[in-house]
């Protein structure tokens, strides 16, 4: 593939009237979480990938306070390059307390939120966060309390926009309805890929569209499954998170690869990779969505970025839709990993049930 770092990928808006960013984002869970999730990475190589991504117009970067050293690494890159203003940066809080065990579950106590904002700003070496997500919904804290706790940071300019991740329809509607601060909620980050269509099937995608909220699709390549580069469990480092996930088990992996092989047949017809076909399909079917694939090298950044320039004919879009609708995916998406599985129902108590943090 010819690399053209001068050409920028197309833009699209987050929400109806939100900021314009590159149509493909960059997930940093794999590239920067040093040894924490997908095996070893090298900070020098990470810096090169980040620089290349931004030069290519991939300026929407996603991280979280629990992604190993991700926030610190991005902060060092900002300091080294002086290019903070060119990046639309998203980070998250509340999947669990990074100072405690993942088994502790989601936490959105007001005191924790305040601490999390300050810590992320320090680690990222910045004075503002463009998009700040609640990473997992805390069932014990009303979403209205969460939004009101974040409001002062929005007023101070330390947070530009807000988002939710793995929320329910009810939680989304309630958050959006909070006077003032609800207007700043522009995105929900949800898992979506050819292997995971849950948000279409449960009505959340339709609700987000109704409310003018964009879907930011994480794991759009099904944690690398769609790429076809992994043909055996032996292809992974021993500490790779994916070896613990149901779709990569000894029994399920070969069955899911059969689906990937069907994707490759379509990709070959269009002179593209399976990753590019999958990402281009998401972009074509969902004009207000932004997928954020993780990329660990310049080559993968370029491969994924090129998908934003790939125009699929209508027949191909329909063929892919038929394939994913009829695919018999083997295994659930994440239930064996405690912190990932926790809170995915996305519900929380009503505001009138809230007795205050001191009574939790």
What gap in Å lies between CA 218 and CA 79, rounded to an integer? 27
Options 67, 133, 192, 218, the catalytic residue:
67
**67 annotated active-site:** yes
Report the 10 Å Cβ neighbour count for 253: 21
List Cα–Cα distances, 199 to 69, 135, 215, 346, in angstroms: 30, 17, 10, 12
DSSP designation for 8 = P
Query: Which of 66, 112, 63, 132 has the alpha carbon at shortest distance from 342?
Result: 66
| In the chain, alpha helices (H) | 29-32, 43-55, 70-81, 110-124, 143-155, 169-177, 198-201, 204-211, 252-269, 274-285, 298-306, 314-326, 338-341
d(CA 305, CA 299): 10
Q: CB count, 10 Å around CB of 175?
A: 26
Specify whether the CB–CB gap between 65 and 98 falls below 8 A: yes
Going by the DSSP 8-state scheme, the letter that residue 10 receives in this structure is: P
CA distance 136 to 347: 10
What is the C-alpha to C-alpha distance for residues 326 and 245, in angstroms, rounded to an integer? 22
First to last CA, the chain: 55
Phi/psi at 101 (5° precision): -75, 150
CA dihedral 200, 187, 294, 153 (to 10 degrees): -150
Active site residues: 67
């Amino acid at each position: 593939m010819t690399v053209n770092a001068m050409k920028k990928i197309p833009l699209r808006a987050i929400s109806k009237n939100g900021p314009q960013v590159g149509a493909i984002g960059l997930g940093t869970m794999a590239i920067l979480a040093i040894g924490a999730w997908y095996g070893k990475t090298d900070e020098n190589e990470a810096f090169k990938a980040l620089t290349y991504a931004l030069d290519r117009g991939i300026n929407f970067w996603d991280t979280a306070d629990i992604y190993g050293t991700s926030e610190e690494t991005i902060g060092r890159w900002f300091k080294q390059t002086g290019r903070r203003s060119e990046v639309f940066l998203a980070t998250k809080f509340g999947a669990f307390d990074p100072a405690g065990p993942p088994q502790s579950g989601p936490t959105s106590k007001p005191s924790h939120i305040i601490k999390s904002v300050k810590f992320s700003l320090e680690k990222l070496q910045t004075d503002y966060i463009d998009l700040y997500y609640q990473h997992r919904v805390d069932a014990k804290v009303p979403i209205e309390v969460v939004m009101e706790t974040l409001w002062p940071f929005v007023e101070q300019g330390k947070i530009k926009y807000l988002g939710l991740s793995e929320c329910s329809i009810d939680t989304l509607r309630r958050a959006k309805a909070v006077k003032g601060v609800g207007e700043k909620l522009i995105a929900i980050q949800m898992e979506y890929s050819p292997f995971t269509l849950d948000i279409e099937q449960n009505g959340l995608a339709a609700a987000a569209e109704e409310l003018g909220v964009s879907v930011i699709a994480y794991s759009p390549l099904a944690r690398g499954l769609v790429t076809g580069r992994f043909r055996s469990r032996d292809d992974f480092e021993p500490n790779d998170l994916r070896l613990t996930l149901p779709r990569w088990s000894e029994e399920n992996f070969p069955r899911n690869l059969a689906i990937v092989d069907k994707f490759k047949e379509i990709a070959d017809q269009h002179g593209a990779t399976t990753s590019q076909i999958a990402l281009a399909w998401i972009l074509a079917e969902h004009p207000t969505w932004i997928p954020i694939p993780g990329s660990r090298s310049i080559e993968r950044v370029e491969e994924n970025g090129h998908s934003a320039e790939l125009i699929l004919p209508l027949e191909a879009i329909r063929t892919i839709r038929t394939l994913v609708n009829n695919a018999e995916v083997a295994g659930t998406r994440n239930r064996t990993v405690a912190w990932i599985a926790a809170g995915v129902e996305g519900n929380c108590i009503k505001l009138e049930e809230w007795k205050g943090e001191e009574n939790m």
